[in-house]
């Protein structure tokens, strides 16, 4: 599912116009993105949490040449699914495997 399809699904589920649903989806994504970018955690009960994680500098190897390279420290977003979300994916995964 891409963003356009998400907007259409939200519009159908909530009985909104596509433009209203697009505004709502964009607003939620903007708030999550900006909040995590400032270092705060966003937790949505039953769905999961978004947070910023630090990746320290490290040495790595180029797989083609075997040469060692230094990888600079960085910050990255991380999503950790909630228990309800994991359970639903697990149930639906079993159903898909059975068919």
Residue 12 above 80 pLDDT?
Answer: yes
Is 88 within a domain?
yes
- Give me the domain span that covers residue 77: 48-99
Cα–Cα dist 51/41, whole Å? 5
Crossing angle of the two packed helices 3-14 and 18-37, in degrees rounded to 10: 120
56, 84: one domain = yes
Q: What is the pTM of this model?
A: 0.80
- How many independent structural domains does the chain possess? 2
Residue 91 above 80 pLDDT?
Answer: yes
Mean pLDDT for the chain? Answer: 95
Structure confidence at residue 81 as a pLDDT band (50, 70, 90): very high
22, 63: one domain = no
- 16-55: pLDDT as tens digits: 999 999 999 999 999 999 999 999 999 999 999 999 999 9
Is 43 within a domain?
no
79, 97: one domain = yes
């Amino acid at each position: 599912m891409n963003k356009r399809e998400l907007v259409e699904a939200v519009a159908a589920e909530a009985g909104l116009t596509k433009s209203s649903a697009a505004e709502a989806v964009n607003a939620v994504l903007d708030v999550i993105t900006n909040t995590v970018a400032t270092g705060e955690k966003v937790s949505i009960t039953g769905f999961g949490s978004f947070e910023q994680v630090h990746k320290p500098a490290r040495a790595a190897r180029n797989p083609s040449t075997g040469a060692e390279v230094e990888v600079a420290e960085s910050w990255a977003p991380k999503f950790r699914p909630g228990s309800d979300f994991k359970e639903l994916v697990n149930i639906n995964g079993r159903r898909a495997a059975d068919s």
